[in-house]
Amino acid sequence: MKAKKANATSKKTVKKTKMKTAEVYRFAHPFFTTKPVSARKPVPGVGKRMTAHIATTLEPIPDPIRNPPVLMLSDLIGKSEADAIGATNSISFHAVGDTGHVGGGSEDMQEYVADAMALDFDIAHPDRSPAFFFHLGDVNYYDNTDKGYQEQFYVPYKRYPGKIIAIPGNHDGEIYKYDGSWVGQKNSLDAFIRNFVQPEPSVPPAAGTIYRQMVSQPGVYWSLEAPLMDLIGLYSNVAEGPGYIADSMIGNKQKDWLSQTLTKIKQARSAGARKALIVGVHHPFFSAGAHSGSPQMLADLDQVCKSCGIMPDVVLSAHSHDYERYTRYVTLGNQNMEIPFIVAGGGGRGLSLHLSAASGIRSGDLSYEKSLLDYGYLKVTVTTSEIEIQLIQVQVIGGSMSTNVFDTVNVDLNTNKLR
């Protein structure tokens, strides 16, 4: 039965992306040209850009199970623990993406990174420990079944004591592997929803004998309200690149929700409640690694943020299996902002084949500040006056794990400048 459903979906996809052309082109990809887009001859049935074809392969975005899709910190860790963190005037959390694997060789790095993150916890002082782990997507690669989730998620994090929330990556949403084989889910994001978007907090069947209470996320995109910060998680769909949060194929419901959410946060700021605003999405806006950035997604983010009169203080992404930090220089009204755009995709899946070294030189409104082709995770700490982001590099030499702080950047919430 499943095979028949899979084949039916495959035929639907082929029909959707079929091009109407009999013309023979010099190159397989006629979009690679020195001609500006306005001067190109459109490919019949596709358009003038490769992205026009990619957009036809996107999958529908599931509706949230609760509206609005808002999560409170107390929903994750309980009211008393959330209050205890709030009383410290400081909150921290972990973040990284691109982790899912089936063990062996360098892929064991996922478990080493997980164990390194676990060292940041002080069980005797949970209020001083990371509040949660924000997974930046690609939890699972090519096996979106209960067995796949147990091997790629529950087993590697069996010693990680914190709660885990997530946004999906492109591999979490796919229905077919690159070779055309079925990955085990009938609809895009079925497996992700079973494990992260539950009606109530519980231990999902995929966990097997491992006890891990998963939270009840309200959807595959959501906002988290916590002491000192607002965290927004977006879903950028299934393409290898670029990412999309809205398009004619998938609609504008996520973008519209983002606008409503930012409007609410802007109103709270105008009333005197200045909290940090952090946005996370799987596909990067800028990248010098194996995956390129997403100008389409950046245009959507800019349009919404400028119309709402508010910009994020930090943007977190993954997808490229490395570490990259950019500074974007933005003017909003009469305010000049320096915003870190960070790629943190060294969670364990395997490293990018290449990564251009950061130069620190500003070009236009962007500078590429730091790069690392190695494994590691982010520790983000928010206080009343600043956001500190650290990249903790994780190395294993001779079977022994070691960690060191590779990079640190601080955002001054009073001046919107970096230090």
Q: Compute the average pLDDT of residues 303-316.
A: 98
Nearest one of 389, 113, 367, 377 to 278, comparing CA atoms: 389
Inform me whether the pLDDT recorded for 11 exceeds 70.
no
Q: Give the pLDDT confidence score for residue 347 in this predicted structure.
A: 97
Q: What is the mean pLDDT of the chain?
A: 92
Q: Compute the average pLDDT of residues 194-222.
A: 97
CA dist 240 and 228 (Å) reads: 34
3-state secondary structure of 342: strand
Using CA atoms, how far residue 21 sits from 18, 50, 53, in Å, is 9, 15, 14
Q: Compute the average pLDDT of residues 283-301.
A: 94
| Cross-strand pairs, 278 | 231, 314
Residue 364: partners with Cβ closer than 8 Å, 6 or more residues away: none
Q: Give the pLDDT confidence score for residue 17 in this predicted structure.
A: 45
Domain ranges of the chain: 1-57, 63-418
Is the CATH code 3.60.21.10 the one for domain 63-418?
yes
Q: How confident is the model at residue 105 (pLDDT cuts 50, 70, 90)?
A: low
Is pTM, for the whole model, over 0.85?
yes
Inform me whether the pLDDT recorded for 12 exceeds 90.
no
Q: Compute the average pLDDT of residues 98-126.
A: 87
Q: Give the pLDDT confidence score for residue 65 in this predicted structure.
A: 98
Inform me whether the pLDDT recorded for 199 exceeds 50.
yes
Calculated CA dihedral for residues 328, 331, 312, 257, nearest 10 degrees: -120
Percent of the chain with pLDDT over 90: 79
What's the 3-state SS for 176-244?
ECCCCCECCCCCCCHHHHHHHEEEEEECCHHHCCCCCCEEECCCCCEEEEECCEEEEEECCCCCCCCCC
Task: Find the helix packing angle between 253-270 and 295-308, rounded to 10°.
Answer: 40
Inform me whether the pLDDT recorded for 113 exceeds 90.
yes
| Positions of E strands within 59-160 | 70-72, 90-96, 133-135
Using CA atoms, how far residue 173 sits from 20, 183, 281, 341, in Å, is 28, 10, 14, 24
Q: Give the pLDDT confidence score for residue 103 in this predicted structure.
A: 62
Q: What digits encode the pLDDT tens for the residues 116-174?
A: 999 999 989 999 999 999 999 999 999 999 999 999 999 999 999 999 999 999 999 99
Q: What digits encode the pLDDT tens for the residues 348-381?
A: 999 989 999 999 999 999 999 999 999 999 999 9
Residue 267: partners with Cβ closer than 8 Å, 6 or more residues away: none
Q: Based on the number of CB atoms within 10 Å of its own CB, is 118 exposed (0-12), middle (13-18) or buried (19 or more)? A: middle
Q: What digits encode the pLDDT tens for the residues 235-247?
A: 999 989 899 999 9
Answer with the residue of higher pLDDT: 39 or 81. Answer: 81
